[in-house]
Amino acid sequence: MKINSNLKRFNSLREFILFSVLILYASASPYAAAGDIENLQKNASMTYERMVQARQNAETLTKDLTFAERKLATAKQKLAEAEQAAETARKKSEQAKISMEKAIRQWQEASDALANEWGKTEVK
């Protein structure tokens, strides 16, 4: 019988310990949950800040892209105008060379004609 009473006490002690553990767990659980919620709130807040920063960066880079594209379009337009001006200058230069060569031929012909006339007057 002594064994039975020791077992009863053990069962009671065991139940007491189990009950105590359950009570401690139940009382600690709201604090743990509150800590988890607080951590989740902090994490959500930090993530939101990163999202806002990423959006601002994206907006800034989009503005930079728009500016760069406008600048590129302007540069392309100026290049096209410069190419057109160069082509016009090239054509005028070719025309000027042709005119110069024609003038040189005419001068040479006139000089030769003059030299022939002088040669004729000296021979007489």
pLDDT at residue 50, rounded to an integer: 95
Distance CA 89, CA 91 (A): 5
Distance CA 56, CA 50 (A): 10
Scan for tokens 């290049």, then name that residue. 79
Q: Which residues of the chain have pLDDT under 50?
A: 1-3, 5-10
pLDDT at residue 20, rounded to an integer: 67
pLDDT at residue 37, rounded to an integer: 84
Scan for tokens 């604090």, then name that residue. 31
pLDDT at residue 99, rounded to an integer: 98
Tell me the whole-structure pTM to 2 decimals: 0.50
Distance CA 78, CA 87 (A): 14
Distance CA 33, CA 31 (A): 5
pLDDT at residue 38, rounded to an integer: 86
pLDDT at residue 11, rounded to an integer: 59
pLDDT at residue 17, rounded to an integer: 72
Distance CA 62, CA 43 (A): 28
